[in-house]
Structure 1
Amino acid sequence: MFRPSLLLLTAGAAGLAVVANAASIAAPDGQQAPKTRLGNSIEQDISERDAAAARRKRGLDLREQAAKAAEARLQASVSAQQPAAATPANGAAPAEAADAQFDDLARIYQAMKPKAAAVVFEQLDMEVQMKVAQRMRDRSTAMIMAAMTPKAAAALSMALARRNSSRPQVAAAAPPAGAPRKAK
C-alpha cells in the first residue's frame, strides 16, 4: 500500500488553497461575505454619529440666523433712535439722549440669554461695548463676558480697565466728612 509523504500532502493542500483564493478573487463584488454583528454595530454607530453631527450643524445654523436677526433688530432700533436723539422732544441735551440709548441697549442685553447676547455683543464697536457694559449689572456683564470668546472678553476687560483708570477719582482726593484736616 502506498503512503503519501508529508511533503506531498502539504503541497496538495497549498495547491487547493491557491485555487480557492483565485476563485474568491475572481468572484464578482456583489457576493460579499455576510455581515457580522460587530460590522452591523459599527455601521449603526457611524450613521448615528453622522446624524448627530447634522443635527448640531443645523442647530448652529439656526443660532447664527437668530443672532443675525437680533443684531439687525438692534441696529434698526439704534438707527430709529438716532433721529430721535438729534431732535429731542422734551428739550433734553443730545448727550443725555445718547446716554438713554446706551441705557436701553444695556437693558436689552441684560434681558437676552448670555450666550446669544455674547455673539451679538462681540460684533459691536469697542466704544459701544464699553458704554453698554458700564450701564449693565455686574452679574449680567460677567455672564456675557464668560460666553464671549476669550480674545473678545480680554479686549473688553482691558478697555474697561483703561477707562476706569483714566477717570479721575474725586472721592479719593477729598477727605471724608468729619476727618481732621492737616495743618500746613
Structure 2
Amino acid sequence: MNQPRLIPLVVFAAAVLLALKGIHLASAGGPQPAKPPASRNLPSAAELFKDVTPDPIITGSGSGGGHGGGDGPPELQTPLSKAAETARSRVEITTERPPEAKPIGGSELLSEITILEKLAERRKLLEQRERELEARENLLKATEGKIEKRIDDLKTIEEKVGAGAAAKEDEKGKEITDLVKMYESMKAKDAARVFDRLDTKLLVDIARQMNPKKLGDVVSKMSPDAAEKLTVELANRKGRDPGPSPARELPKIEGKGG
C-alpha cells in the first residue's frame, strides 16, 4: 500500500527541485560558473522524504516538516511551502467510489418474470381458443355440406316419386279411358249389369269420363240402389272438383226399361 502512494510524492519532489533550480538561476542573473557548494547545503531526496508519513487518504499534501524545510536554508523553505500549497489546492485524491448503477432488486425481477409467464400463458390460451374456433367452423362447414347434399337427394327422390306418380296416374287414366270406350260400345243393359257389381270409386272414375247420354242410358238400366249410390258419389265429386267437363255432368236418370 505504501509503494503506490510514494510514486506521486517522488514526482512532486522532482517538480519542486526543478522549480527551485529555476528560481535560483533567475535570482542569480543567469547561469554562473560551477562552484563547489561551500555555504549552501541543498537537501537530498532522502532528506526530503525521511519524515513523510503516508496518510490513509492521499490528498497530495504532507505534514509541515515532511518536505525537510526545517533543516534547509530559509530562502528555500518559502518557495517549497508555496509550491506544496499550490499542489495541495490543485491535487485532491480520494478513495471514494463513483456512483454505480444499482442492481435490480429480487422482488422487481420476480415480478417481471411473473408478468412474462402470465403473458405466455395468455398467448397459449388465445392460440388454443383460435384452434377450437377453427375446428368448430370446419365442423359447421362439413355439416352444412351434408345438409345441402341431403336436401339435393330429397329433391331428386321427390322428383322421381312425382314422375313415377305422374306416370302411374297417366297409366291409370289410360286404363280408365280404355274402359270408358269399352262400356260405351256395349249395350246399355249389359253395361248396367256390370256397373251394379263394380267398386264405387272405380265406377265413379269411369262414369265421369263417359258420354252423358250413354251414361244416362246405362244408369237407367241399373238397379235402383246402385243407380242412387252412383248419383250421390258423382254429385259429391262434382262439389269437390269445380268446373267439371261436360263428360262429368250428372246423367239423366230414366226409368228402367226392358
Classify the TM-score, shorter chain. 0.3 to 0.5
Structure with larger RCO (C-alpha < 8 A, sep 6+): 1
* TM-score when normalising by structure 1: 0.41
Instruction: Please tell me whether Structure 1 or Structure 2 has the larger radius of gyration of its CA atoms.
Output: 2
Q: Give the structure with the larger helix fraction.
A: 1
* TM-score when normalising by structure 2: 0.30
